[in-house]
Structure 1
Amino acid sequence: MRLGAISLLSACLLLAATAGNARVSQEDLRKQVLESERAFAATMKARDFEGFTRFVADEAIFMSAEGALRGKEAVVRAWRKYYDKPEAPFSWAPEEVEVVESGTLAYSGGPIYDRGGKKIGRFNSIWRLEAPGRWKVVFDRGSDFCDCAK
């Protein structure tokens, strides 16, 4: 009886350990990042500054022509102005997402639009997996739109 209980306990522990190490597929990770980027962008439309701050990693670096904002506090302080008015000054949407094989870092990029919907730039973001299913932006860079065909 005692040996049976120990065997059952061992089997349960082995199953629990195996289930805990189940690998999330690359496609599922890509979908997580895509959904995170869309939710991040939705904070601008919803005028949800607190929501915006939840997507920014503590050691984030947001780069622009004026220089780099280093750390969450600096990013949040600088981006507050984009959330103060009732209407969003711009919006963005992901067009592409890639996740490294380890599943811990990801890239997202896509267009930036003015409030009228005209394409004015492009964003490029690097996301880091902070906890299962929870991604945060560690690097972000926007650039002006180039209609290079003209």
Structure 2
Amino acid sequence: MSFHPAMKSLLGAAMIFCASISLAADNTELTRQVTEAERGFAQTMVERDFEKFASFIADDAVFYGNSAQRGKHAVLAEWQAFFKAEQAPFSWRPEQVDVLDSGTLAHSSGPVIDAKGNVVAHFNSVWRLQAPGVWKVVFDKGCRVCACEKPQDATDKK
């Protein structure tokens, strides 16, 4: 069967369109999965559940603090102190989650809130798909919020 060149172009465009819709639907589901994983990860701090916290961390993870903690054991050794007190010293929540079109890596970010309810930092985490529906943190870094004054607008000059 032979197709007219215009028909071939139309069929090609339709196939690309359908594939992009499928990727968008898959990406939406993956974004939901990572968002739920990040929320579950954050909930471990609220519930003071160190074992559950550990379950979200990849074996080869790198977490940044005063220095880089390389590997799950180093991360857990550093973070265990945050789980000792009865009340969580801070909490966090995802505000933005993006997943690569390949569906293998994701980035999440959002505020870190101290026990008094003040935003004190923003976190950035990179998640890797370990198995279908199973995401683990491979990189995590928090950046303190600047307590500096807002610059004056040029129109505010007196």
What's the secondary structure of 1:116's corresponding residue?
Answer: coil
Residue 70 of structure 1 and its aligned partner are, at CA, apart by: 0.1
Q: Residues 88-146 of structure 1: CA distance to partner in whole angstroms, max 9, x if unpaired? A: 00000000000001000000000000001100000000000000000000000001012
CA deviations on 1:61-102 (whole Å, 9 max, x unpaired) are 0012x1100000000011000001110000000000000010
Aligned pairs for 1:36-47 (under 5 A) are 36-47=37-48
Q: Indicate whether 1:93 and 2:93 are aligned.
A: yes
Moved over 3 A (4+): none
What TM-score comes out, normalization by structure 2 length? 0.78
1:123 aligns with 2:131: no
Counterpart position of 1:80:
80
Structure 1 SS opposite 2:94: coil
In structure 2, the residue matched to 1:34 is 35
2: CA distance, partners of 1:130 / 1:146: 35
Equivalent residue number for residue 63 of structure 2: 62
Give the structure 2 partner of residue 134 of structure 1.
134
Structure 1 unaligned regions, length at least 5: 1-21
For the aligned residue pairs, the C-alpha RMSD in angstroms reads 1.5
Larger radius of gyration: 2
- C-alpha distance in 2, partners of 1:36/1:53? 13
Task: Give the TM-score normalised by structure 1.
Answer: 0.82
Distance 2:99 2:71 in 1: 23
For structure 2, the residue ranges without an aligned partner over 5 or more in a row are 1-21, 151-158
For residue 58 of structure 2, what is the amino acid of its counterpart?
A
Structure 1's 146 and 29: CA in aligned 2 closer, same or farther, altered over 3 A? same
Secondary structure of the structure 2 residue equivalent to 1:29: helix
Distance in 2 between residues matched to 1:118 and 1:132, nearest whole Å: 36
Kindly provide the amino acid, as one letter, of the partner of residue 122 in structure 2.
Answer: R
Supply the AA of the counterpart residue of 2:40.
A
- Counterpart CA distance in 1 for 2:101 and 2:30 is 10
Distance in 2 (alpha carbons) for counterparts of 1:55 and 1:75: 12
CA distance in 2, matches of 1:29, 1:73: 28
CA distance in 1, matches of 2:149, 2:123: 20
Tell me which residue corresponds to 1:14: none
Equivalent-residue separation in structure 2 for 1:147 and 1:25 (angstroms) = 40
